[in-house]
Amino acid sequence: MTPTSSDFFDLAVARVRHEASSIAILDMQRADASGLPAWQPGAHIDVRTQDASGKEVVRQYSLCGPQGEDFWRIAVLADTRGRGGSIHLFQTVTQGQKVSVRGPRNHFELPNDDRPLVLVAGGIGITPLLAMADRLHEQGRRFRLHYFARSRHSMAFLDQLMSGPYQEQVRMSFDDGHPTPVESIFSHDDSESWLYTCGPEGFMKSVVSAAQASAVSPSRMRKELFTSDAAAAADTAASCNRAFTVVLRSSGKAIEVPADKTVVHALSDAGVSIVVSCEQGHCGSCLTGVLEGIPDHRDQFMLPEEQERNDAFTPRCSRAVSETLVLDL
Ligand code: FES
């Protein structure tokens, strides 16, 4: 039976290749090498792994290999700032090992118009943008890719990018070489372009403000946060929680959300389940409509103008500013 995107299923690790100082590239396929669901650039999968305490956790990885093959490729960074899931995978994965995965899911899709695109990656944020660059090159669309990293040794896919078919459109910057100021990568020629950026939060903030200074419209900016930053943001926000009430549109039922529970958990206790994936506010899986009240947005998935509309929120990590939220459930 073909799995749906909400089911976990097993893949076998066909190849493990180490790149840079702390990145493992995994190619995973079905044990019988039969096909996998199709995916589009920007898609990610969920992977079951373990955190530092041995507890099972789910982590998200962007797909970045060739399309239409019988394997999925992800890049796993042994990130010491994270909560351990990726480090466990990095340290323990071997060829032939089974990995439990779910997906693909895509909240970071390429636009369909013919405007040029500026792709800006910080560190391991290269993975979704690499898949996008491959697709844009195939389609003959106008784009360039800026790739920022701490050092040349920490960059994944370096050879592929430097000798690949669109090498002329790739610009690299290393902090320990001759770093390029982020502010200098845009010009007013980019005012009609799309911006797609992925990396740590601080990095993306400077990319977005540099793009805004060159008149790129916020409505054409898309960003995807690097996972460990999302985890840190969620942990910090959890220390200032307070209780509030959510009301379900369909039944009028009121459910208390205590300070020490998420909306998703409070709803689950009341028999209402919401699909979650990243649990950190960056994948958009739990996005839920809000009909009344003001959410306390703590996600990195929605654009600022989407958050300002207050007509949706991410109940796994976001809460409420108002005493009550009426949800479209
Ligand atoms: S579960 Fe990822 S944003 Fe809610």
Is the Cβ atom of 277 under 6 angstroms away from ligand 1?
A: yes
| Interval 175-226: pLDDT, tens | 877 788 999 999 999 999 999 999 988 899 899 999 999 999 988 999 887 6
| Separation of alpha carbons 148 and 45, rounded Å | 24
Measure 104 CA to ligand 1 centroid, in angstroms: 15
What CATH number does the domain containing 273 carry?
3.10.20.30
Nearest ligand 1 atom to alpha carbon 284: 3
Q: Are residues 164 and 79 in the same domain?
A: no
Q: Are residues 96 and 165 in the same domain?
A: no
Q: Which of 45, 77, 105 is the last residue of a domain?
A: 105
Measure 153 CA to ligand 1 centroid, in angstroms: 32
Range of the domain at 183: 117-226
Cis before 116? omega within 30: no
Q: Are residues 123 and 98 in the same domain?
A: no
Domain assignment present for residue 63? The answer is yes
What CATH number does the domain containing 121 carry?
3.40.50.80
Q: Which of 105, 128, 163 is the last residue of a domain?
A: 105
Is the Cβ atom of 102 under 6 angstroms away from ligand 1?
A: no
| Separation of alpha carbons 145 and 137, rounded Å | 11
| Separation of alpha carbons 126 and 199, rounded Å | 8
Pairing between β-strand 143-149 and β-strand 117-122 as defined by DSSP bridges: parallel
- Whole-number pLDDT of residue 2: 41
Q: Are residues 34 and 128 in the same domain?
A: no
| Interval 58-91: pLDDT, tens | 788 999 988 889 999 999 998 776 667 889 999 9
Q: Which of 172, 199, 226 is the last residue of a domain?
A: 226
Tally of helices (H runs) and strands (E runs) in the chain: 7, 18
Domain count of the chain?
Answer: 3
| Interval 270-318: pLDDT, tens | 999 988 877 778 778 899 999 999 998 888 788 777 888 999 999 999 9
Domain assignment present for residue 175? The answer is yes
Is the Cβ atom of 301 under 6 angstroms away from ligand 1?
A: yes
Is the Cβ atom of 314 under 6 angstroms away from ligand 1?
A: yes
Is the Cβ atom of 276 under 6 angstroms away from ligand 1?
A: yes
- Whole-number pLDDT of residue 260: 83
SS (H, E, C) 161-228: HHHCCCHHHEEEEECCCCCCCHHHHCCHHHCCCEEEEEECHHHHHHHHHHHHHCCCCHHHEEEEECHH
Domain assignment present for residue 112? The answer is no
Confidence of residue 6 (pLDDT cuts 50, 70, 90): low
Q: Are residues 211 and 311 in the same domain?
A: no
Measure 257 CA to ligand 1 centroid, in angstroms: 17
The residue nearest atom 4 of ligand 1, judged by CA position, is: 286
Is the Cβ atom of 278 under 6 angstroms away from ligand 1?
A: yes
Q: Which residues lie across from 61 on neighbouring strands?
A: 45
Measure 274 CA to ligand 1 centroid, in angstroms: 10
| Separation of alpha carbons 296 and 24, rounded Å | 37
Average per-residue pLDDT for the chain: 88
- Whole-number pLDDT of residue 278: 75
Q: Whole-prediction pTM value?
A: 0.74
Domain assignment present for residue 234? The answer is no
Nearest ligand 1 atom to alpha carbon 317: 4
